[in-house]
């Protein structure tokens, strides 16, 4: 039997691309999203069926609901082997205009949601003696962001730190935890944040002069989710067109 992976935020954008790609690579996939109906539509668009895919409504902020999602995946597939913490809120409010409520809203979804995912799946994977966790961070968490808000950038910086902490805590139990830090991708969320008249300026500051391809990030996720990836943990893979080099 192939490995089963749960992808959060799988109803749209990068999460939908990742979930669809994992399916084509022979993984069994849980399409999880705040919006369960859209998650089901994404599953159907990817050609998923009962044997290789499951769609469910999941609010990543809620630990009980996260546990239930893992239990549901376990019942459906017999086991769960991977988690992609992809769901996030991408807000772009200028830093001096962010209210504390909006700050909390972004932190609760992005940072708390990833923490809840790592901890809940981390327990399950540790008991099983095997697991792969991949966190979607961002270039914004490394350089403070280009088009995104301070709350978003800070939450993504926190995800990079959580990735290392969970990697250290779970490595001995056969569980790897890694992050991918993409720069601006050719996705609806980026086109919503960067109007056409500002796109030329954005492209001019990217050394390779183009937006990132979501499919490439999905392929990197599949590699980190594979059995082969046992010697990479606590890492952050930069996929940013050279905007940030280290
Ligand atoms: N788009 C980019 O260029 C880019 C760059 C760097 C990092 N990323 C990261 O990639 C990931 C996906 O980005 P995207 O642009 O596809 O986002 P998106 O806004 O298009 O999609 C996010 C999905 O997450 C879901 N979601 C939101 N809150 C949720 C919650 N509480 N519980 C469950 N699901 C929830 C939404 O319903 C939506 O389907 C995010 O983590 C983002 O930070 C994206």
Q: What is the per-residue pLDDT for 193?
A: 87
Q: What is the per-residue pLDDT for 242?
A: 98
Is 90's C-beta closer than 6 angstroms to any atom of ligand 1? yes
In a domain, 245, yes or no: no
Q: What is the per-residue pLDDT for 147?
A: 80
Q: What is the per-residue pLDDT for 146?
A: 79
pLDDT tens column, 9-52: 999 999 999 999 999 999 999 999 999 999 999 999 999 999 99
In a domain, 121, yes or no: yes
In a domain, 233, yes or no: yes
What residue numbers bound the domain in which 189 lies? 4-238
How many domains are there within the chain?
Answer: 1
Distance 110 CA to ligand 1 centre (A): 9
Is 35's C-beta closer than 6 angstroms to any atom of ligand 1? yes
In a domain, 246, yes or no: no
In a domain, 244, yes or no: no
Assign residue 169 the CATH number of its domain. 3.40.50.720
Q: Tell me: pLDDT of 1 over 90.
A: no
Distance 192 CA to ligand 1 centre (A): 13
Q: What is the per-residue pLDDT for 34?
A: 98
Distance 119 CA to ligand 1 centre (A): 20
Which residue out of 6, 10, 13 has the highest number of ligand 1 atoms within 8 Å of its CB and is therefore the one to mutate? 13
pLDDT tens column, 201-217: 999 999 999 999 999 99
Which residue out of 7, 90, 154 has the highest number of ligand 1 atoms within 8 Å of its CB and is therefore the one to mutate? 90
Q: What is the per-residue pLDDT for 142?
A: 98
Distance 140 CA to ligand 1 centre (A): 14
CA-nearest of 51, 56, 57 to 28 is 51
State which ligand 1 atom lies nearest to the alpha carbon of 61: 31
Q: Tell me: pLDDT of 179 over 90.
A: yes
Q: Atom 18 (ligand 1): residue with closest C-alpha?
A: 13
pTM for the model stands at: 0.98
In a domain, 125, yes or no: yes
In a domain, 173, yes or no: yes
């Amino acid at each position: 039997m192939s490995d089963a992976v749960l992808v959060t935020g799988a109803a749209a954008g990068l999460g939908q691309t990742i979930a669809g790609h994992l399916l084509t690579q022979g993984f069994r996939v849980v399409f999880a999203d705040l919006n369960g109906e859209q998650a089901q539509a994404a599953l159907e668009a990817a050609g998923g069926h009962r044997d290789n895919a499951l769609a469910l409504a999941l609010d990543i902020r809620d630990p009980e609901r996260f546990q239930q999602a893992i239990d549901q995946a376990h019942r459906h597939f017999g086991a769960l082997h991977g988690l992609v913490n992809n769901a996030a809120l991408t807000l772009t409010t200028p830093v001096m205009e962010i209210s504390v409520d909006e700050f909390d809203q972004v932190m609760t979804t992005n940072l708390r949601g990833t923490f809840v995912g790592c901890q809940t799946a981390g327990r399950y994977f540790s008991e099983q003696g095997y697991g792969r966790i991949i966190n979607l961070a961002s270039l914004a968490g490394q350089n403070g962001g280009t088009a995104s808000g301070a709350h978003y950038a800070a939450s993504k910086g926190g995800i990079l730190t959580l990735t290392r902490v969970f990697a250290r805590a779970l490595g001995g139990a056969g569980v790897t935890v890694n992050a991918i830090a993409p720069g601006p991708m050719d996705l609806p969320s980026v086109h919503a944040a960067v109007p056409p008249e500002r796109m030329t300026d954005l492209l001019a500051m990217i050394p390779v002069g183009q937006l990132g391809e979501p499919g490439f990030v999905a392929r990197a996720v599949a590699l980190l989710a594979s059995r082969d990836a046992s010697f990479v943990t606590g890492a952050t893979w930069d996929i940013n067109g050279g905007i940030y080099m280290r």
